[in-house]
Structures are given as structure tokens and as C-alpha cells.
Amino acid sequence: MSDRHGENDEALVGLEPLEPRLRGYLHARGAVDVPPEFAAQALEGVRSDGPRPWFFARRWTAVAGIAALLVLAAITFAPGSRPNVPVDESLRPSDAAQASPTATELDDEFPDSVLGMPVLSVGDANALLVEGRIYGRAVAVKGYWIHAMLHSCPRPGRFQNPLEERCIRQDFSSIGYRGFTCTESSDGSGLLCHSNVAPVGARTLEPLMLIETGAKEALWRNFNEDSYPDGIPSVLIVHVGDPRAWQCPSELRDECRRQFVVDRVAWTAGAGSSLTMPDTEVRPELSIAELEIIIGEASLISAQPMLASDAPAVDPRFQASGDDILWIARSLRDTLVNDPTRALDVWLVDDETASARSIGLEQPADYQPGEFRAQAAERVGPIDHHLIPFFRVELPDGTPVQDLFVSSYSSSRGDSVSEQHAGLPALLEPGTYVVRAWRTAYVNRFVSEHPDECVTEFDIAALEVVRLEAAFPVTGACSWREPTFEDSLF
């Protein structure tokens, strides 16, 4: 049988091995996140009528998914949207930002308190930030979640912490307004859209919804442009001083620390929201109700199950590795009367054993971790393209500390070496550690065997950055050395 390109089906029984340069290139083509600007692109295409499709009903577990859903959901209900119409690039946001044509004043529709916390205005929350009173602490803040038209935003070619997010600029405003306006083009060929800026007098903050944000589905359910053209009235529990700031480049660390992160959508569109089981790839045994028993029903504000190796990506102070299922949860701690802020505890709960431990979100002044980054260089050869460098940091006694993956970006040095850039760094207490490297498959995340691994020991001091490179020959064991290429470019 031949296809229309004349290729003979029977002549080939297998696939030829692929050299690392091509393998790395082809892998990188598919190793991309859904960019926030995709949401803006989707504006023009999704029909306003028809059944709610299955993929919109899903709950998202990643920032990228959330970004896409933001506008997709908005357009799902947007009247007058037309499918498959081009956008006038000259009228894309930022440069063409205009004053909002409508605005809704903050009124008394908001609750005075949620989950035992007084509800503050956006201005009050910003004032507490300026005063330095909410680092590592939570506040409840009311405002309008604005339907945003998200902007195109280049990303650096390196691992990027979610707190560095510059592309998703979700406005949460004290005064409601239309986030964007679309009009039909004069020639009838499509919609022209531009974003609007907050009206004069509005106070705004730009909170980040992240993977662990609790009850975010409650907000998506109300993403109805008809009912809330000027944004969805919501109360969010937010914090600043997130420990992931330590994974930001040092020159951006302060900026990352000031970033508002949403712990919980507490109230939206007239109703309080409850915590429900997040839709994730992992299948935990524990239920939300059981977590509430473990942690405390009244104070639990978010709970997210994940593979253990992913836990340091949510709170880098937790050291976990492997593919067991863990929960990261946050809870409110009692606080002084008349203090509108609440201390937050972060919990790591083992899904199998239900054992739990917690630490305060606020990092003590003596928390000054070292930063370990691992990268890899592979010699060109006919190796299995499914195998990718993988690292595990351990204590000298063999206790696993953290798994490290190479970044989604790889480059090549001629035809001889494929360079796999460092991904998420490990934040480590000062001390001595062991790091192992081997090639493994991402298909099931991990393999128990460590063929041709290489092992080395390193010391790390407070605030020190240690970088090591594993060199993989075509066959045989890898070896450790000082980096031969930059692992991040910023």
C-alpha cells in the first residue's frame, strides 16, 4: 500500500535512530506551554452559541491552561463573536489601550468577611504591601475580576518561575470595567479588539492564579460576559512573599516577593465558594473532606494533589522526590484581634499514609538556601530518543531530597553535543549533598533502574549557587564536570 506521497509502507519495519541534535530540536518544538497571548488569539474564533464543549468544562491544573480558559470561557458566552475572523494587529492591546467605556463602582454587594477574615479593599491590600505587613501572610480582598485580553509577551530562554509571569496580567480592580472592546471592522471582515485600562480612580492589583489556587473553578463558572461585562465581583484570599521567589533570578527576587498570589477564590458572583477536588492527572486516595479532618475544616483554604517530584515547584522548601502522590495545602492560622492579615501554614500531606507536616508560609530571616542547578550535555549518537537526562539530589545517607529535570529548551553544539539546559533549581539548606544523573523516560515520569548513572558529591553554602553539568557519552556512564555552557541567559 502506498500513500499519496508514494511512500512504501512495506519497505520499512522500524524507525531509524535519531541523533541528539534532531531529537532535541524536535522535542523542543513540542515542549511549549500555551502562551497567555493564545487567549487573545482565541477571542476571535470561538462561537458564541452551541453546546458547552467538554474541554471547557474541565478544570485546569496549570497556569497555562488557566490562561487559555480565561478568554475561551469569556468568549463562550460573548454575544456577537464571530468565528474565524482576523485580528487587526495594529489594534492589539497595550499600544492601543483606551479608557474604559463603562465602569461599575464598587458597591455593597460584597461580604464584609470571608472564612473569618475581614474583607479589604484593593487599596487597603496594596497599602499593607507597601507597609511590609503581609509578606508570608494572607488577606481577603474584594474587587472585580476583569475579563482580560492578554498581551503578547516574549519569554526568556530559560527556566521561568511562575512568579516571574509577565504575560498573564490579570487585572483585579476596585472599580469594574470592560477589559476589552471588540467592534466589527469597517469592511466587515472581522472583529477589531483593543484592551481598556482601568478607569481613573480605580485601584488595581495583578493577582496570579496558580496551580494550587483553591476553588478557582468557582470563578470560571461565572465567566459570563453577559452577566458581568465589567468584571466578576469576587473576594480573593491572597498573599505576597511566596517562597517561590527564591527560585527567581536574584535581580528579580524582590519583585517576585511582591507578587500577589491567589490562595483561594473565597466568594464570587454573590456566593461563597467551597473547596472541591481539583481535576488533575494524578488520582489521589484522600478526599477534600479527609484533608479537612487532617488539617482543620475551618482553616483549609486550598489543597492540590501532585506527584512528589512536583512539590518543590509549588513550595521549594519541601523536599520531595519520586512519583508518590502528595498534597500541598494551605490553611489559615488564628491571629490577633484587629489584624486583617492571617498567617498561613503550608502542609505537605502524604496521600497514602495521610501523614502531614506543615511550615509557615512566612520565611524566617535565617532562611537563606543555596541554589543547585544541574544541566546536561549529550554526545551525538544513535541513542533512544525517549531517554532524557534526569537528576536526583540526595543526602549523603541516600535519603532523596529532590528530583531535577532539564528545561524544555535544548540547544546543540554543531553535530556533536546536545545541551540540555537546567530546569527548576533545588533550594538546599547549607550542607553536603549527593547528586545522581541518568537517562530516563518521561513517559511514566521515572524508572526505578539507573543504568549508566554518574554520582558526585557537592557542598553548598547559604545563598551560594552551585552549578554542575553531567556529560553523557553516546553509550556508557555519564560523568560530572563544571558547566561548559550557560544554563540560563538573563
Partner 1 sequence: MPWVAEMYRLAAAIVGVEAADDVTQDALLDAWRGWSRMRDRARVRPWVRAIVANRAKKHLRAQRSRPRLIAVAPDELFLDLRSSRVTPDHAVVIADRQRLDGAFERLSADQRVCVALHYSLDISVAEIARALGVPEGTVKSRINAGITRMRAALEGEER
Residue 356 Cβ vs partner 1, minimum distance, rounded to whole Å = 28
* Burial of residue 253 (number of CB atoms within 10 Å: 0-12, 13-18, 19+): middle
Nearer to partner 1, 75 or 232 (CB): 75
Q: Which set of grid coordinates corresponds to residue 469?
A: 553539568
Amino acid at 354: A
Distance CA 349, CA 323 (A): 14
Residue 201 Cβ vs partner 1, minimum distance, rounded to whole Å = 32
Residue 228 Cβ vs partner 1, minimum distance, rounded to whole Å = 23
Q: What DSSP letter does each residue of 200-239 carry, written as one string? A: TT--EE-PEEEEEEETHHHHHHT--TTT-TT-EEEEEEEE
* Burial of residue 236 (number of CB atoms within 10 Å: 0-12, 13-18, 19+): buried
CA 38 to chain centre: 16
Do the bridges between strand 137-145 and strand 117-120 make them parallel or antiparallel, or are there none, so unpaired?
parallel
Nearer to partner 1, 104 or 412 (CB): 412
Nearer to partner 1, 282 or 455 (CB): 282
Residue 17 Cβ vs partner 1, minimum distance, rounded to whole Å = 10
Residue 46 Cβ vs partner 1, minimum distance, rounded to whole Å = 6
Nearer to partner 1, 200 or 443 (CB): 443
Residue 179 Cβ vs partner 1, minimum distance, rounded to whole Å = 19
Cβ-contact 158, 247 below 8 angstroms: no
Residue 61 Cβ vs partner 1, minimum distance, rounded to whole Å = 7
SS3 content of the chain, % helix, strand, coil (to 5): 20, 35, 50
Nearer to partner 1, 23 or 142 (CB): 23
Helical segments of 426-482, H only: none
Task: Give contact residues for partner 1 (rule: CB under 8 A).
Answer: 1, 3, 5, 7-16, 18, 21-23, 25-35, 37-38, 41-42, 44-47, 50-51, 53-55, 58, 60-62, 64-65, 68-69, 72, 83-84, 153-157, 281, 385-386, 409, 411-412, 442-443, 485-486, 489-490
Nearer to partner 1, 43 or 295 (CB): 43
Distance CA 20, CA 375 (A): 15
Residue 418 Cβ vs partner 1, minimum distance, rounded to whole Å = 11
Nearer to partner 1, 54 or 365 (CB): 54
**Residues in a beta bridge with 403:** 392
DSSP label of 248: S
Nearer to partner 1, 421 or 436 (CB): 421
Q: Which set of grid coordinates corresponds to residue 144?
A: 472585580
CA max distance for the chain: 79
Please list, in sequence order, all residues whose beta carbon lies within 8 angstroms of the beta carbon of residue 52, skipping any fewer than 6 positions away. 76
Read off φ and ψ for residue 353, nearest 5 degrees.
-100, -15
Nearer to partner 1, 7 or 109 (CB): 7
Q: Phi-psi region for residue 477, left (φ > 0), alpha (ψ -120 to 50) or beta?
A: beta
Cβ-contact 263, 275 below 8 angstroms: no
Distance CA 409, CA 413 (A): 14
Amino acid at 309: S
Residue 227 Cβ vs partner 1, minimum distance, rounded to whole Å = 21
Residue 34 Cβ vs partner 1, minimum distance, rounded to whole Å = 5
If we measure between CA atoms, which residue out of 269, 104, 95, 93 comes closest to residue 181? 93
Cβ-contact 146, 234 below 8 angstroms: no
Nearer to partner 1, 29 or 338 (CB): 29
Q: What DSSP letter does each residue of 362-385 carry, written as one string? A: SPPTT---EEEEEEEEEE-SS--T
Nearer to partner 1, 133 or 385 (CB): 385
If we measure between CA atoms, which residue out of 423, 464, 455, 462 comes closest to residue 442? 423
Residue 44 Cβ vs partner 1, minimum distance, rounded to whole Å = 8
Nearer to partner 1, 224 or 408 (CB): 408
Residue 92 Cβ vs partner 1, minimum distance, rounded to whole Å = 12
